[in-house]
Structure formats: C-alpha cells, structure tokens
Structure 1
C-alpha cells in the first residue's frame, strides 16, 4: 500500500464499514426502500426479498469497508471494489426520479445525500489507475 493511499482508504473504509454495520439489523420497511432505490440502477435486485437484500447490502458494505482498512489488501483490489460499489451508487442516483434537477445531473434537495457519493467513485478510480510500482520507478 502506498503512503498516499492511506488517507483515502482510512476515510472511505471507516465510512463504509460503519454504514454496513449500521445496516446489519435493518427493519423490513427500510430494507424495502433501499431495495427499491437499488433496483433503479440494477433491475435484478427486484428478484430478492427485501430482508435478503438488506442482509446482502450490509455484508457487502462491511466487507468492502474492512478490505479498505486492511493494509494487506492491495490498493488496486480495494480500489476495484470501491469503484464497483460507488458506480452502483452513482447509477442509482442518476436513475432515481427526484434525485436530480431537470438537467439530470445536478442534485436536487433530495438527491444531495446520495450525489455526494461521487467522491468515492473518484477515490476508487484513483486507486485503480495509480499504476506506478516500485519496478516502474527504477
């Protein structure tokens, strides 16, 4: 892990791990709401029961957060996971009615809380694209 990746991994890892752990005991209504929003980006989610989706989401977020915090997980691998996860969040934001203003990009009042997740996409892509290795520096 590069020194420059530590702040990125700590900030996103702690945030995502906390979010995942907070979802471990989701009630049915909350899980159903999250499932409906996720289905805007990934229609296959509709095939899952709400409780099942909530558990899978909690496990996925917890695992991703832990992977970002674990120093033995290569940054490129952790970055791929973060990029995939955050790309799904950005797709959900863009495809959920009422989240964006009329231009389809800028967030509405309701969409601001989700639109901010674009920073995680940028961090994930930066970790993946940072291809400099010790061998290439020589």
Structure 2
C-alpha cells in the first residue's frame, strides 16, 4: 500500500465500517425503509425479508470497511469494492426522482444523503487508477 493511500483508506474504511456496525441490529421498520429505497432501483431486493436485507447490508458494509482498513488488501482491490458500493449508491441517487431537484442533478434535501457519496466514488477511482511506477518505467514523469 502506498503512503498516499493510507488517509483515503482510513477515512472511507472507518466511515463504512461504522455505518455497517450501526446497522447490525436494525429493527424491521428501518430495514424495510432501506430495502424499499433499494428496491426502487434494484427490484430483486424486494424479494428478501427486511431483516435479512438489513443483516446482509450490515455485513457487506462491515466487510468493505474492514477491507479498506486492512493493509494486506491491495489498494486496487479495495478501490474496486468501494467503487461498486459507492457507484450503486450514486445509481440510486440518479434513478430515484425525489433525490434530485427539477434539474435532475442537484440534490434535494432527501437526496443529500446519497449525493454526498460522490466523494467515496472519487476515492475509489484514485485507488484504482493510481499506478505504482518503478525506476525503469517507460512512463515519463512530469517535472
């Protein structure tokens, strides 16, 4: 892991791990609300029991957070997981009409919760696209 990746992975990893940890004992109504929002974009989610959905969401977030925090997980792999996660949240943001204002881009009050996840997508891209360059690399470095 590159030194420059540490702050990116610590910030997102701790945030996502905490979010997943806080969802581990969701009540049925809270799980159903989250499931309902997800089902608007991913219809197959509606077939699950709300409690099962809540548990799976919790475990998935805790797993992703732990992967981002674990120094032995390659940054590209952690970035790919983060990109899939944040990309799915941004997809929900774009596809649920009440998340944006009339222009379809700027977030509504309700949409701010998902729109803010654009920072996670940017971090994912940075982790995926950053290449380790060796001394004999054919890529020239700008001075």
TM-score with structure 2 setting the length: 0.91
**Residue aligned with 2:82, SS:** helix
- What are the within-5 Å matches in structure 2 for residues 118-133 of structure 1? 118-133=118-133
Kindly tell me the number of residue pairs found equivalent between the two proteins.
138
For residues 127 and 59 of structure 1, the distance between their equivalents in structure 2, rounded to whole angstroms, comes to 23
Q: Is this contact kept in 1: 2:97–2:104, CA < 8 A? A: no
Following superposition, the deviation at residue 135 of structure 1 comes to 6.6
Closer/same/farther in 2, CA of residues 70 and 87 from structure 1, 3 Å limit: same
Compute the displacement of 1:134 (Å): 3.6
Q: Which has the larger radius of gyration?
A: 2
Q: Residues 19-38 of structure 1 correspond to what in structure 2 (within 5 A)?
A: 19-38=19-38
**Aligned with 1:84: secondary structure?**
helix
Counterpart Cα distance in 2 of 1:83 and 1:129: 12
Residue pair 1:41, 1:88 contacting (<8 A) in 2 also:
no
4+ long deviations beyond 4 Å:
135-138
Residues 18-57 of structure 1: pairs in structure 2 closer than 5 A: 18-57=18-57
Write the distance in 2 (CA, Å) between the matches of 1:113 and 1:137: 42
Query: How does the TM-score come out when normalised to structure 1?
Result: 0.94
Q: Which residue of 1 aligns with 2:141?
A: none
Counterpart of 1:98 in 2: which secondary structure?
helix
Structure 1, unmatched stretches of 5+, are: none
Q: Does 2:5 correspond to 1:5?
A: yes
* Structure richer in helix, relative to its length: 1
The superposition leaves residues 83-137 of structure 1 with CA deviations (integer Å, 9 ceiling, x where unpaired) of: 0000010011111231100111110111112110011011111111112344764
Q: What's 1:108 paired with?
A: 108
Q: Does residue 15 in structure 1 map to residue 15 in structure 2?
A: yes
Superposed CA deviations along residues 37-90 of structure 1, whole A, max 9, x for unmatched, are 111222211121111110000000000000000000000000000000000100
